[in-house]
Structures are given as C-alpha cells and as structure tokens.
C-alpha cells in the first residue's frame, strides 16, 4: 500500500501538462473529480489505473498502458478485480493476459 501511495504522489508531482506521460489524462488530484489513480504495476512495466468519474467507485473504469509501447491506453469497463481475473485466466485478454503461459505463476502482494 505504501508503495502505491508513494507512486501516486510521485506521478502527481510530475503531472504538469496535458502532453505528459499520462496524456490525454491527468493524475487524480484528491478532492477533485477526474484523473487517474495508480493501483498496480507489473514486472513488465505495465501500469494500471482507475479513472475517477462522477459515478460510484465500483463503476470506475480501469485504464492500462504498457510503458515504452506505442500502443497507448487500453480502457476496460470493469472492476479491478475482474480485470485481474481476466489477466490470470483468459488467454484472449490481450495484451495483458498471462493465462497462455505454463503453470507456476506466482502472486506477490505489494
């Protein structure tokens, strides 16, 4: 948890323009509506965010991006729990699925 809060603070401190690394989005500023809240980073430099909206928290979409790829953002209208489930179990859930790899994957809580 502390690492995610540290990541959020660091990303917020570097989010000074609309053409930065999170464009066309911004990092969520507490006390406001809109922006992204980081909630996960993979070992292969994939970053996962909630997009803060006016709706209920459990309806916030997941946005994902792979650093150093020209692919840009991927938006998923699902909870983070469903997103993680799909990563782990659905080989068609590209580009983030690990389900096609042999058994032996592990999970290390942050």
The secondary structure element, H or E, covering residue 5 is helix 2-13
CA distance 68 to 55: 31
Whether the pLDDT of residue 30 is over 90: the answer is: no
The pTM (predicted TM-score) of the whole model is: 0.76
Q: List, for residues 48-70, the tens digit of each pLDDT value.
A: 999 999 889 989 999 998 876 66
Q: Under a CB-based contact definition with an 8 Å cutoff, are residues 69 and 88 in contact? A: no
């Amino acid at each position: 948890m502390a690492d995610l809060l540290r990541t959020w603070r660091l990303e917020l401190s570097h989010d000074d323009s609309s053409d930065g690394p999170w464009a066309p989005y911004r990092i969520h500023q507490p006390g406001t509506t809109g922006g992204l809240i980081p909630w996960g980073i993979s070992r292969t430099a994939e970053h996962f965010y909630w997009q803060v909206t006016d709706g209920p928290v459990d309806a916030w979409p997941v946005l994902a991006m792979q650093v150093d790829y020209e692919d840009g953002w991927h938006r998923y209208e699902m909870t983070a729990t469903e997103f993680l489930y799909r990563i782990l179990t659905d080989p068609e859930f590209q580009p983030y699925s690990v389900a096609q790899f042999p058994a032996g994957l592990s999970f290390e809580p942050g």
